[in-house]
Homo-oligomer: A and B are copies of this chain.
Amino acid sequence: MDMHDLTRELLVKNDSKIVMLVADGLGGLPLTPGGKTELETARTPNLDELARVGISGGSIPVKPGITPGSGPGHLGLFGYDPLEYRIGRGALEATGIGFELTSRDVAARGNFCTLDAQGDISDRRAGRISSDESAPLAVRLREVKIPGVEIFVEPVKEHRFVVVFRGEGLEGNVHDTDPQITGVPPLKPKAMDAGSQRTAQIAAEFVAQGDKLLSGEKKANGLTLRGFSGKPNLPTYEEVYGLKAAAIAVYPMYKGLARLVGMQIVGKAQTLQEQIDVLKQNWQDFDFFFIHFKYTDSTGEDGAFESKVKRIEELDAVIPQITALDPTVLIVTGDHSTPSLLKSHSWHPVPTVLVSKDCRTDRCTSFGENEATHGGLGLFEAKYLMPIALANAARLGKYGA
């Protein structure tokens, strides 16, 4: 039995407000053994106060030892088992650039490549062509015309682009055309099941016309397609939790992920203060607010310990504006850890604090990795955070008599 079967069965509606503030890549590591993490180093009087009055824990994004990408990391926090719900690479790439997929779409990630005189791939990434050079080529691919199908091509970074085929009866189970090695031609798009045959034919026609359009190029005279996938079929927040949910994010990827679970994207904030302003403006209109703060992750990825500390302090500073709204439940967490020591996402549990009137406060007095591990929530899988939030908002009835 899936947690959503439970939440659907038990959901209760009321006027409570839940705020989930996600500091991307929040968890960290000390630079030297026995030292303090970024979060433990930062001066965070407001987060510490949340830890004092709330309940803390360590969130395991997927399973112990597993480092998630942004997709599984957020699905976990949203309460969708990230091992059950997988977002294909094409769909995630489309989502990441803010492309709004429909149920009639199949998306694929495209790579420009270099083909030699025999049509064999000599460079799978077209000499790591710059975005400036590749973007006009992606736009040129929009000239491909296939009857009965609408085609969207969007530039991504460097050798990458996204293609979306929209039409009736398209399914995404088509094998990658990138052979993963050089010295051989791209593979033909091959349907892996009967329902995907039309997509494979369309993809083959797209490649044929695309190759012609690119034939005069020196570096990017060919293309491969990977990760064919339709719109992920995720139930909505409204359906599984009875929540009208708003997402307040700056970057397209996180807006896209929120949209996939039926959240409404509100505002056009570019800064954290603008995000808080959007929260205030929309306070009466939603039950649940997802606020995404990117910079704890990007500074971690850069290996910039001190910058990450400063970003955490920036986050800390807006907390009183959120608590002033008197949310029924306030959660501060992250989708995964991004220790600046590792310059990458990691598997380490993410410090998490939840504040509500009925949360059963623990002994934590500050917000940090070590302290959270000793908190009342213990170590828990991220997918359980939403049921805990709903319970604290009195939005879940009793299971069984």
Contacts and interface: CB of A to CB of B under 8 A. Distances in A.
Q: Interface size class for chain A?
A: 35 or more
A81 B69 CA distance: 25
Given A33-B53, A387-B64, A388-B347, A72 B399 contact: yes
A335 to B, nearest CB: 11
Q: How many copies does the complex hold?
A: 2
A65 B391 contact: yes
Contacts of A400: 68-73, 82, 86-87, 92
Interface string A41-73: 000000000000100001000111111111111
Contacts of A346: 358, 391
A53 B65 CA distance: 19
Interface stretch (A173-181, A316-324, A373-381): A373-381
A378 B376 contact: no
Interface SS of chain A: loop
A366 to B, nearest CB: 13
A386 to B, nearest CB: 8
Contacts of A10: 66
Nearest to A389: B65
A280 interface: no
Interface string A348-369: 1100000001101111000001
A34 interface: yes
Contacts of A92: 400-401
A283 interface: no
Contacts of A30: 361
A378 B373 contact: yes
Contact of A65 (B339, B360, B379, B384): B384
Interface centre among A62, A358, A374, A398 (most CB of B within 10 A): A398
Query: Which 4 pairs from chain A and chain B are nearest by CB?
Result: A65-B387, A64-B384, A69-B400, A65-B391
Given A64-B387, A360-B369, 5 more contacts: A65-B384, A65-B386, A65-B387, A67-B391, A92-B400
